[in-house]
Amino acid sequence: MADTAETDAFVAFERVQKSYDGENLVVKDLNLSMPKGEFLTMLGPSGSGKTTCLMMLAGFETATYGEIKLDGVSINNIPPHKRGIGMVFQNYALFPHMTVAENLSFPLEVRKIGKSEREAKVKRALDMVQMGAFGGRRPAQMSGGQQQRIALARALVFEPELVLMDEPLGALDKQLRETLQFEITNLAHELGITVVYVTHDQTEALTMSDRVAVFDDGRIQQLAPPDELYEKPQNSFVAQFIGENNTLEGTVTKISGNHCEVRLDNGELIDALPVNVSAEGERTRVSIRPERVEFNKDRLQEGAHLLKAEVLEFIYMGDIFRTRLRVAGNEDFIIKTRNAPDQVRLEPGQQIEIGWLPEDCRALDAI
């Protein structure tokens, strides 16, 4: 990464490593830089190092190696309460013996803000999360969603420029989660705050974020805006982790420019875009999204290789049809087609041919 990008960054991790036991690295050479006002989500399986990164940024854990910078200044030696960062956790973490207003007032008292200003800020923060009437309640007298709104208000009350959220909606039901997802992103953009958000819910990550960092095994596997992550996964882990995906295994037989030919393990040939392969003879796993597979030959490029497929299951889903096929030995090959008046409904047992535009079929690393 260029040095200039890092100096302009509001939040920067530079070659950060973390080991808890002095032996195993749970965060491996993390480089990440975020501009001011960005909403970035860390997404990844359990144990991939997301919370650890957040804790290092907040100052509750120290990096074993590397540097973390805020607004161009190294914060490695600054204690958490002096970093000016707001935090929201999964389990609300409100003080149970305090009222809502007292909970919100606390971070202001710690910062030595006078009484009348405190009251004004608390009121403003409560109004922001539409909880103005709840100042006198205790946490136990509220629902989970209400408590989480208060936790959010408490993280915002001292007007931090950076807010960290670790699965803040994990304990809530689906509907409430969706409402709050919307409120959090709106609020963040309105206030111009920079947010680092952690989740292992990919829909949440894709819908809320400016960029998503996909974590696995202590490393960022890909860092990109949601559409790019879904449409242009750079490796097999990301292709598999984000959205629904079909994979076929084979060996590269021809490669030139942005086109390659792959011989699948059952002997058939297909066309693909070389993404993570560089030479003939290399093993690859090709990846193609269900909505990019065509069985209508008119929509395919001339000369495209076609594959034989057998329809195993046809599922009517209202807006789309989801069809499961057997393709090159893979019995879980899914295609999705839009429900339109002229759309063909496939029947189980039917033999068809499928194909795709080579740029929609990505030749990635073999796992």
Cα 210 from chain centroid?
A: 10
Closest distance to ligand ATP from the beta carbon of 48 (Å): 4
Phi-psi region of 4 (alpha: psi -120 to 50; beta: other; left: phi over 0): alpha
Within 10 A of 89 (CB to CB), how many other CB atoms are there?
Answer: 18
| Residue 33 binding Mg ion, by CB under 5 A | no
| Residue 62 binding ligand ATP, by CB under 6 A | no
Closest distance to Mg ion from the beta carbon of 16 (Å): 17
Residue with smaller CB distance to Mg ion, 42 or 101: 42
Residue with smaller CB distance to ligand ATP, 65 or 95: 65
What, of ligand ATP, Mg ion, none, does residue 181 touch, CB below 5 to 8 Å by kind?
none
CB of 245 closer than 8 Å to CB of 288: yes
| Residue 20 binding ligand ATP, by CB under 6 A | yes
Return the beta strands (E) in the chain as ranges: 11-19, 25-34, 39-43, 65-70, 73-74, 85-88, 162-166, 194-199, 211-216, 219-224, 246-256, 259-264, 269-274, 283-288, 307-316, 320-327, 330-338, 351-354, 361-365
Touching ligand ATP, residues 26-45 (CB under 6 A): 26, 44
| Residue 51 binding Mg ion, by CB under 5 A | yes
What, of Mg ion, ligand ATP, none, does residue 247 touch, CB below 5 to 8 Å by kind?
none
Q: Of the ranges 47-55, 133-141, 184-192, 289-297, which one interacts with ligand ATP (CB under 6 A)?
A: 47-55
Pick the closest to residue 75 from 133, 132, 11 (CA basis): 11
Among 4, 46, 256, 351, binds ligand ATP (CB under 6 A): 46
Closest distance to ligand ATP from the beta carbon of 61 (Å): 7
Q: What angle, 0 to 180 degrees and rounded to 10, lies between the N-to-C axes of helices 144-156 and 174-191?
A: 10
| Residue 49 binding ligand ATP, by CB under 6 A | yes
| Residue 219 binding ligand ATP, by CB under 6 A | no
Residue with smaller CB distance to Mg ion, 14 or 166: 166
Residue with smaller CB distance to Mg ion, 55 or 312: 55
Element (H, E) at 127: helix 115-128
In whole angstroms, what is the distance from residue 310 CA to residue 308 CA? 7
Among 51, 147, 209, 247, binds ligand ATP (CB under 6 A): 51
Closest distance to ligand ATP from the beta carbon of 47 (Å): 4
| Residue 60 binding ligand ATP, by CB under 6 A | no
In whole angstroms, what is the distance from residue 363 CA to residue 366 CA? 9
| Residue 48 binding ligand ATP, by CB under 6 A | yes
Residue with smaller CB distance to ligand ATP, 197 or 321: 197
Site string (146-185) toward ligand ATP, x via CB under 6 A: ----------------------------------------
Residue 84, token pair as written in the block: 């000016």
C-alpha to C-alpha distances, 245 to 42, 241, 293, 338, 353, nearest whole angstrom: 21, 9, 11, 17, 19
CB of 60 closer than 8 Å to CB of 231: no
What, of ligand ATP, Mg ion, none, does residue 46 touch, CB below 5 to 8 Å by kind?
ligand ATP
Q: In what order do the strands lie in the sheet with 194-199?
A: 85-88, 162-166, 194-199, 39-43, 211-216, 219-224
| Contact footprint for ligand ATP (CB under 6 A) | 20, 26, 44, 46-52, 200
| Contact footprint for Mg ion (CB under 5 A) | 51
